[in-house]
């Protein structure tokens, strides 16, 4: 079973690769930045010149597409500061840049840039060249950690009031999401009927590793079990 490509990440990445030639220049990037930008993502896709720790995490196409936009945004903003080749940046420039950047952006950009620079150091080391780690003192701690959490939660009673505004089928799906804590839309729309089963007079859902965003898991459906079975029967949904 494979996770459905709901946002056409595969197509987007494939179309991007089709454009690549020896003279290709990424839109809005300098020639120097474009060259290293393209090489970075081709290497990531192939698992080359990255640390052992980075290799442990799957480099999915949707991950690469999101990462491309973040690395490109950083490169463009360095260019706006007259740094037209990201590989020539020094430690002070990096520290000054991210001190300002982190005031309005997620610390995830720092993590992605540190990973990019780690790749650049590894690539050069394997070619017999030494590149200094200009990201060593960058902090990846979230700047939002000092802010009181704004997490919103609903108890079952409040949730039932909320879902009462929807039609019968959507109410079942919403209750199933609440009950299984399944991620929507990717996991939910990749799930198959065969992943829902009865065991010891209880209804369970098995979210397999192949479609899970993080890791597979199983849940006993406390609220939605019988309703989801009736939903499957009503719409004549087959196991696959």
Q: Which of 93, 84, 91 is nearest to 133 (CA)?
A: 91
SS3 label, residue 99: helix
User: Which residue blocks in 4-51 are alpha helix, DSSP H?
Assistant: 9-18, 31-46
Q: Is 71 helix (H, G, I), strand (E, B) or coil?
A: helix
Secondary structure class of 138 (helix, strand, coil): coil
Question: What is the pTM assigned to this prediction?
Answer: 0.62
Residues 6+ apart with CB under 8 A from 97: 77, 78, 81
Q: Could you tell me if 50 and 42 are in contact, meaning their C-beta atoms sit under 8 angstroms apart? A: no
**Is there a contact between 137 and 91 (Cβ–Cβ < 8 Å)?**
yes
Q: Which tokens go with 16?
A: 């991007």
Separation of CA 76 from chain center: 21
The pLDDT assigned to 18 comes to: 94
pLDDT of residue 106: 87
The rounded distance, in Å, linking the Cα atoms of 186 and 6 is 7
Q: What is the pLDDT of residues 118-160, one digit of tens each?
A: 999 999 999 999 999 999 999 887 544 444 556 678 899 999 9
> Is the Cβ–Cβ distance between 235 and 183 less than 8 Å?
no
- Rounded Cα distance between 10 and 108, Å, is 23
Q: What is the pLDDT, as a whole number, of residue 8?
A: 74
| Residue ranges for the chain with pLDDT beneath 50 | 53, 56-58, 143-147
Bridge partners (DSSP) of residue 205 are: 196, 219
Phi/psi of residue 205, nearest 5 degrees? -125, 135
Q: Are 184 and 211 in contact (CB under 8 A)?
A: no
Q: Quick one: pLDDT at residue 56? A: 46
Cα–Cα distance measured from residue 40 to residue 38, given in angstroms and rounded to the nearest whole number:
5
Q: Which two tokens stand for residue 114?
A: 């540190």
């Amino acid at each position: 079973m494979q996770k459905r490509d709901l946002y056409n990440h595969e197509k987007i990445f494939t179309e991007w690769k089709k454009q690549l030639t020896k003279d290709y220049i990424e839109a809005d990037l300098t020639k120097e930045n474009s060259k290293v930008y393209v090489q970075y993502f081709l290497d990531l896709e192939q698992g080359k010149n990255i640390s052992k720790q980075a290799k442990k995490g799957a480099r999915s196409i949707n991950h690469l597409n999101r990462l491309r936009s973040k690395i490109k945004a950083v490169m463009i903003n360095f260019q706006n500061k007259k740094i037209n080749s990201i590989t020539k940046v020094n430690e002070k420039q990096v520290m000054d840049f991210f001190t300002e950047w982190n005031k309005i952006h997620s610390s995830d950009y720092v993590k992605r840039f540190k990973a990019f620079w780690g790749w650049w150091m590894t690539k050069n080391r394997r070619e017999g060249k030494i590149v200094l780690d200009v990201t060593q003192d960058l902090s990846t701690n979230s700047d939002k950690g000092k802010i009181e959490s704004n997490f919103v939660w609903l108890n079952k009673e409040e949730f039932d009031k909320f879902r009462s505004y929807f039609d019968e089928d959507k109410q079942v799906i919403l209750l199933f999401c609440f009950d299984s804590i399944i991620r929507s839309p990717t996991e939910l729309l990749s799930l198959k009927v065969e992943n829902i089963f009865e065991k010891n007079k209880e209804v369970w859902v098995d979210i397999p590793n192949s479609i899970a965003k993080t890791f597979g898991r199983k849940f006993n459906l406390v609220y939605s079990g019988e309703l989801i079975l009736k939903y499957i029967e009503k719409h004549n949904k087959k196991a696959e």
